[in-house]
């Protein structure tokens, strides 16, 4: 079994090498082809000399993913949270790869198996680098009803004071969360800064339609998280430019009761594939960030304690 896991580490090394040559492609080659090849290669190696049960082969295939993850963590390549987020997909594909190797173990020659395992992930990664797919733009929208008129809510939207200490478990894992917002200027062209735990978003105002709509672009993004790792200061390449907020807005709609339906929207791009898999994670994180801001503005507005924002 040790030899099988070492072979999976060799597969991982070829995948990471291809990623570096391609300038840091985080896509199907890394997240799909690598665990599949690791599961296939480890089981093929495990069964090359003697028969083993299907259950034993499944254990080896899943262990190959754990070995690759442990190696990336130990070598300061990745942090714990990102490995955990990628693990469901990686374990599934390693299991599929292991099943394929078990089914075809007597039909695949050793040179074909080694070639498949060592070339599959780099080949897919370099193909992605050549194709350079355009990352899609995603929209995340959250809302809350506030028992205060739009004029009061507006003052707490444009600029808000420091938020209370964070209690939600997600943000204690290192995921960035908002602390406060400040603004320089008034009207379109003003510069809003939303300060997060990892830095500040710089947000030039596009639309200043008080007290109905505040829309802004985002010209500077901080790191989306601080990695959990035994090594202090770990900063993998995917923390820069791979999850990018592009625009945002706050929309205030008066309600018949005299309150405000308050809606926040974020448009972002994510340079990670498969898009459908990673959107589930990034959308969830943004949906947890939004309420932290919206609830703070709700408390300030309903308590009639504006947070220094201009009218």
What region, left, alpha or beta, does residue 162 occupy, with left being phi > 0 and alpha being psi -120 to 50 degrees? beta
What local confidence, expressed as pLDDT, does residue 57 receive? 93
Which residues are 270's β-sheet partners? 243
Nearest to 190 by CA among 148, 163, 157, 153: 157
pLDDT digits (tens, 9 = 90+) for 6-45: 888 888 888 888 876 667 788 999 999 999 999 999 998 8
Residues 6+ apart with CB under 8 A from 135: 269, 270, 271, 275
What local confidence, expressed as pLDDT, does residue 134 receive? 84
Name the token pair of 193: 């800064």
Computed on alpha carbons and rounded to an integer, the radius of gyration of the chain in Å comes to 24
* Residues of the chain where predicted confidence (pLDDT) is lower than 50: 305-311
Predicted TM-score (pTM) of the model is 0.85
pLDDT digits (tens, 9 = 90+) for 173-217: 899 999 999 999 999 999 999 999 999 999 999 999 999 999 999
Q: What is the DSSP string of 129-191?
A: HHH-PPPPEEEEEEEEEESS-HHHHHHHHHSB-PPPPP--GGGGGTB--EEEEEEESSSTT-E
Go through the domains of the chain in sequence order and give each one's CATH number: 2-131 (no CATH), 138-302 (3.30.530.20)
Q: State the CB neighbour count (10 A cutoff) for residue 46.
A: 26
Residue 249 CA, chain-centre distance (Å), reads 21
Residues 6+ apart with CB under 8 A from 95: 39, 58, 61, 62
Where are any strands of DSSP class E within the chain? Answer: 137-146, 178-184, 191-196, 199-209, 213-217, 243-254, 260-270
Name the token pair of 90: 């990686």
- What SS3 class is residue 103? helix
User: How many whole angstroms separate alpha carbon 187 and alpha carbon 76?
Assistant: 45
What local confidence, expressed as pLDDT, does residue 197 receive? 93
């Amino acid at each position: 079994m040790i030899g099988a896991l070492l072979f999976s580490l060799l597969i991982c090394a070829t995948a990471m090498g291809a990623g570096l040559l391609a300038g840091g492609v985080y896509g199907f080659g890394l997240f799909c082809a690598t665990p599949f090849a690791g599961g296939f290669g480890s089981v093929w190696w495990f069964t090359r000399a003697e028969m083993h049960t299907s259950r034993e082969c499944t254990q080896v295939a899943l262990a190959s993913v754990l070995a690759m993850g442990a190696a990336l963590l130990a070598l300061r390549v990745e942090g714990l949270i990102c490995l955990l987020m990628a693990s469901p997909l990686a374990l599934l594909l390693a299991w599929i790869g292991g099943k394929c190797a078990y089914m075809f173990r007597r039909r695949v020659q050793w040179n074909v198996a080694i070639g498949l395992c060592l070339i599959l992930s780099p080949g897919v990664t370099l193909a992605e680098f050549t194709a350079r797919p355009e990352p899609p733009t995603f929209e995340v929208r959250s809302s809350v009803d506030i028992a205060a008129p739009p004029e009061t809510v507006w003052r707490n939207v444009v600029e808000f004071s420091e938020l209370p200490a964070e209690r939600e478990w997600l943000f204690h894992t290192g995921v960035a969360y908002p602390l406060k917002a400040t603004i320089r200027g008034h009207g379109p062209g003003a510069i809003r800064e939303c300060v997060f735990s990892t830095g500040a978003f710089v947000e030039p105002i596009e639309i200043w339609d008080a007290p109905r709509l505040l829309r802004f672009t985002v010209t500077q993004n901080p790191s989306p998280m601080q990695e959990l790792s035994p090594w202090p200061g770990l900063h993998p390449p995917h923390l820069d430019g791979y999850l990018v907020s592009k625009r945002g807005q706050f929309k205030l709609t008066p309600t018949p009761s005299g309150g405000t339906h308050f809606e926040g929207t974020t448009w972002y791009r994510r340079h990670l594939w498969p898009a459908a898999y990673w959107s589930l994670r990034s959308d969830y994180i943004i949906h947890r960030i939004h309420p932290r801001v919206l609830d703070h503005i709700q408390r300030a507005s309903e308590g009639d304690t504006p947070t220094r924002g201009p009218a």
